Amino acid sequence: MKDYTSLQQVQEDLKLGTCTCEDLVKNYLAKIKSSDINAFLESFDDSALEQAKKVDEKLAVNKAGKLAGMVIGIKDNICYRNHKVSASSKILENFESIYSSTAVERLLAEDAIIIGRLNCDEFAMGSSNENSVYGNVKNPINKDYVPGGSSGGSAAAVKARLCLATLGSDTGGSIRQPASFCGTVGFKPTYGRISRYGLIAYASSFDQIGPLTHTVEDAALLYTIMAGSDEYDSTCTSKKVEKVEFSSPAKKKIAVIKQCLDSEGIDPEVKAKVEATIAHLEALGHEINYVDFPYLDILVPTYYVITTAEASSNLARFDGVHYGYRSENAVDVDSTYIASRSEGFGPEVKRRIMLGTYVLSSGYYDAYFTKAQKTRRLIQDKTAEILAQNDFILTPTTPTTAFKFGANSENPIAMYLQDIFTVQSNLAGGPSISLPLGEHSNGLPFGIQVMGDMYKDADLLSFAHYLMNN
């Protein structure tokens, strides 16, 4: 069977009758079972085949939805009714969700087929997919290298063509960074555009579900279907979801942050590709404006103070009492909490819970958490100021290509700095996308990131499509 890279290709063959949805699912299931990159924690064989047969029946009478033929994997922190979800953590081992996330419900309503759940960093905390209790995901391009994180399984599965598209979640770059490392499209919508209902929380004021795909068209389609208000999520905006148009855009004003290109840690080939992209856009008639963003060095510290604080609160519910892992060493209430959480959480999750508890503690709250919130407002205001005078901000997605397993494992700061170019979008709240436009001499891909203003997701996707095809 063909290696499909777009829903359009699939639907053309479905229309011609050269394949069926059942054929597609069987083909993908066979690939998943023979794959050695550890992207899928579990394939949903029975439910996927059952859904495929239903979609084939609808196709036969021309009643199928927009996503007929779209076989999707979901990150292991997104709930799907009567299926396991664990956030790749021992503490949620064998937990089965009793409801589906809003995002999943909306995809299923348009006849998408959910084929399995994907490995990720535990509770979406990581930049390399080395923090999963189920082992590392391997980069399908070179298995000695990480796929990025936390949605490493989602990016790797798309690149390895184990499914057509995937869902990830993005708190500080967890969709875009692995998309850059694996060479896929990764889109983080505006915060609140897609409901977080049914997404296991890491940092509630940052988390956002988004798609990883081969094409911008497929990312845009998945986004428009999932987006929109939701009564189950009070942070989900009620603003109308605009249609994404793929006509050639008018000439745009594009901001380039000087500090990003002058950053000490940026790989020379990554910098050269960004500069070549800038020159290409100028040649096409777009206006390039170099701007100052004085907060680059404090983006990551601000992000980690706030997100660890939110994580320490969100993860308090995993206590070994109500559901999930309970320690065999528990003998009373205190030991149940202490032993279950100590044994159930991995090192990185425990590190972030402790950091978050510290910055929220008496005597340190104002010095750290309050100050970080004020700094976040400065970052939001400066980003809005740049985007008030420009249509988009263009940066590298990541300072380097993927690194080898273990390269940053002993140095949390070096690992955290992998997010230096992606966290701005999460702190500011606007949409951003990583496009697979770069290839390094080491054979690994890297992405170019484009950021847009709040709720200008459709404009950003339109321009991203233009950039990918010109």
Token pair 């040649």: residue:
283
Query: In a 10 Å sphere around its CB, with 0-12 CB exposed, 13-18 middle and 19+ buried, how is residue 53 labelled?
Result: middle
Tell me which residue has tokens 């290709």: 9
Catalytic residue (choose from 75, 138, 159, 273):
75
CB-CB contact of 257 with 295 (8 Å): no
Query: Is 75 known to be catalytic?
Result: yes
Q: Report the alpha-carbon distance of residue 244 to residue 9 in Å, rounded.
A: 20
Residue 243 annotated in active site: no
What is d(CA 295, CA 42) in angstroms, rounded to the nearest whole number? Answer: 41
Tell me which residue has tokens 């496009």. 435
Q: Which entry of 89, 128, 169, 174 is annotated as an active-site residue? A: 174
Closest by alpha carbon to 213, among 260, 155, 133? 155
Cα dist. 446→59, 176, 198, 329, 436 in Å?
Answer: 38, 10, 31, 46, 6
Give dist(CA 98, CA 83) in Å, integer: 8
**CA neighbor of 189 nearest in space, from 156, 222, 217:** 222
150 carries an active-site annotation = yes
CA distance 390 to 396: 18
Catalytic one of 100, 128, 150, 169: 150
Catalytically active residues are 75, 150, 174
